[in-house]
Amino acid sequence: MNRRLYFLFPDRAHALAAVTELAGNGVREDSMYALADKNIRLDGLPNATSRQKHDAAHRIEKLLWSTNLVLFCLAFGSFITLLILNGLNSWLLVCIGLMVATFLAGLRFTQVPNTHLDEFQDALAHGEILLMVDTTESRLADIEDRIHRHHPEAAIGGVGWGAGTLGL
């Protein structure tokens, strides 16, 4: 699963230097996206799409999480109802299987990194530039380390899930 790294830069010049360095080290320019307040110039920085600006990944995550909870509650309610009305029967196994599946999916949801754009609204309002970098899991540490060592002015903002393959 791909990951999205978030870096905050104090100004355009620092963000541009980081983009140039990452591009020179094998990060495709179409895997980097810059966001800022509407009054900040982003000339030379890779543009974010409308979906990225509105954090479609966060909406998808909320939808999947809510669906998972609803399915668990329906399975649990069906389990209790069937147990009361029919006693022990084979349909209880279907309910138990669904509850176990949704429980395991819920555990997986809690282990997936979940940084989202709403966490950066204050920084963006103060004129900072958010650089998002989509990468494979194997390159996370290298990119974070490179930014940390060569661009100490950048604040590492976190990691999100699956952005690169979904185009979000």
Per residue in 48-97, pLDDT (tens digit) is 877 777 776 677 778 888 898 899 999 999 888 888 888 777 788 888 99
The pLDDT, as a whole number, for residue 168 is 47
- Report the pLDDT averaged over residues 127-153: 90
Confidence of residue 10 (pLDDT cuts 50, 70, 90): very high
pTM for this model (two decimals): 0.68
- Report the pLDDT averaged over residues 108-112: 69
CB distance 23 to 82 below 8 Å: no
DSSP calls for 67-117: HHHHHHHHHHHHHHHHHHHH-S-THHHHHHHHHHHHHHHHHHHHHS----G
More reliable by pLDDT, 4 or 168:
4
More reliable by pLDDT, 7 or 114:
7
Evaluate if residue 150 carries a pLDDT over 70: yes
The pLDDT, as a whole number, for residue 21 is 93
The bridge status of strand 155-161 relative to strand 3-9 is antiparallel
The pLDDT, as a whole number, for residue 131 is 92
Domain ranges of the chain: 3-39+49-55+124-162, 62-111
Task: Name beta bridge partners: 90.
Answer: none
Q: Would you give the distance in Å from CA 53 to the centre of its chain?
A: 13
Evaluate if residue 164 carries a pLDDT over 60: no
More reliable by pLDDT, 52 or 122:
122
Q: What CATH number has the domain spanning 3-39+49-55+124-162?
A: 3.30.70.120
Evaluate if residue 148 carries a pLDDT over 80: yes
